[in-house]
Amino acid sequence: MGCTSGISSELLVTAVEQVCRNYELRLAAIAGIATIDIKAREISLVEFCRSHGLPLTTFPAEMLAQVAVPHGDMAIAKIVGTPSVAEAAAILAASQTNLAVKLIVPKQIIRLPEKPGAVTIAVAQTLLND
């Protein structure tokens, strides 16, 4: 997950709910939230994880930058040091428990007209071993 600094809790919750609804995912099936290390103290993100009992896993930009993603953005790379936060963090977090990982939701950028900022969400899933 990526987000604008100071993002509202309302926007963050709306973004997660919207992605779950659009991709027919259950909120209860989310194993955790992953992001870039500079967001480790983002209040709305920390509160969301705490209220849903989810771990918040962070990765340094250098590690995220090494992950092959379908939708990297060099403008983001100039700001945070990696072309992908949401997709790369989702893939890295899922691969910690299983090397077979699939990106099931490519990055989705969610904004609300009445709230400043944006939330970027991607979802990766571990695949069952045969």
The pLDDT score that the predictor gives to residue 123 is 98
Q: Rounded to 5 degrees, what are φ and ψ at 44? A: -65, -35
8 A C-beta contact, residue 88 and residue 101:
no
Ranges of H-type helices in the chain: 9-22, 43-52, 61-64, 74-80, 86-95
All structural domains of the chain: 2-126 (3.30.420.180)
Alpha carbons 94 and 110: distance in angstroms, whole number: 22
Summarised one tens digit per residue, pLDDT across range 65-98 is 999 999 999 999 999 999 999 999 999 999 987 7
> For the chain, what is the mean pLDDT?
94
